[in-house]
Amino acid sequence: MKVPAKTTGSPRVGGLLLLLPPPLFWAGNFIVGRAMHNHVPPMALSLWRWVIALFFMLPFAFRPMRRDWLKYWKYRWRVLGVSLAGVVSFNSLVYLGLQSTTASNALLLNSFIPILIVLLAAIFYRQRLHMAQVLGLTLSFAGALTIVMHGDWSSLSSLSFSRGDLLIFCAMVSWAFYTLWLRGFPADIDRIGLMGAQILLALVVLVPLWLCERASGVAPTWDIQSIGALAYLGIFPSVVAYLLYNIGVARFGATRAGLSIHLIPLFGVVLAVLFLHETVHRYQVLGMVAIVAGVACAARNRSEIKRPGPWSTKPLTPS
């Protein structure tokens, strides 16, 4: 599956739709991760999630992996970096954090990802920030906060950040680096094959971590609920969402693709209405409007001039 080179014109609506499923499925990842914190320990959840993902992806990824292995070697440090940052660190830290923090705090910290991407891009790639990006980030972050805080901004000062919150924040930093490093891969590297290579490398790291977890006496409880949760995690957030996010980064750049992260709390409200029969409140509607407006504003076509950072292997061209 070849990813077309990024276009220099205004992004098409059909192309931008690629960025909608990832936050939807990742919202479910947080819900399932929290629901399973007493059933499946973090390293087991992360390991078996990716084993399932590899099972479903390998029939499609094996041929491009075999064809592109010399390219993986050429970009070996970047491949290793995205595997550790986006597959190992992000998910393991999220599941570890959800052992001891609330869903509200996790969503709040998750909203920092686009800001982290912009800041890291400015630091490592000397990317210029335009007023539309700053305005869009401000609007979408305010919308995410409105939803998470239930419209009561005064409660922001009462938030306490625990060890779990710190782990979640570290996971968000890992994802920001993952998004930026993805941008350095040329378009002729097949994205399904690249994802398969990332998972294989990640499993090499996750297996020892899982063995250490087992040695500590922590074991999962296998039942219909936990097996169903792993099936969801292994297919939708792991395979479908990651592939679409990879394509989105290649087409539209790290900054614009990262803005889709702000849609996670929005989709969380929709899922709650559909499956939990919750009522939509005014603050949720206001938050949704602000998020959509912010994403649309910051996604306006601008040149993303980037220069090589420490992980770069070739100059990055304007988008």
Model pLDDT, residue 71: 92
> What is the residue range of 140's domain?
21-298
111 in Cβ contact with 261 (< 8 Å): yes
316 has pLDDT over 60: no
Q: Is residue 176 part of a domain?
A: yes
Interatomic CA distance for residues 29 and 26, integer angstroms: 5
User: How many domains does one find in the chain?
Assistant: 1
Q: Is residue 30 part of a domain?
A: yes
From 269, 257, 277, select the one nearest 117 (Cα to Cα): 257
Model pLDDT, residue 275: 66
Cβ contacts of 97 within 8 Å, gap of 6 or more: 106, 164, 165, 166, 167, 168, 171
**Which of 60-69, 99-108, 174-183, 231-240 is predicted least confidently?**
99-108
Q: Is residue 293 part of a domain?
A: yes
User: Tokens 């992004």 sit at which residue?
Assistant: 11
Q: Is residue 56 part of a domain?
A: yes
84 has pLDDT over 90: yes
Ranges 176-180, 256-260, 277-281, most confident: 176-180
Residue range 110-149, pLDDT digits in tens:
777 777 787 788 788 877 778 887 888 788 778 777 776 7
Show the DSSP H helices in 98-130 as ranges.
Answer: 103-110, 113-124
Model pLDDT, residue 285: 80
Q: Is residue 133 part of a domain?
A: yes
Q: Is residue 319 part of a domain?
A: no
Cβ contacts of 192 within 8 Å, gap of 6 or more: 1, 57, 60, 61, 64, 243
Q: Is residue 170 part of a domain?
A: yes
51 has pLDDT over 50: yes
Q: Is residue 315 part of a domain?
A: no
pTM: 0.75
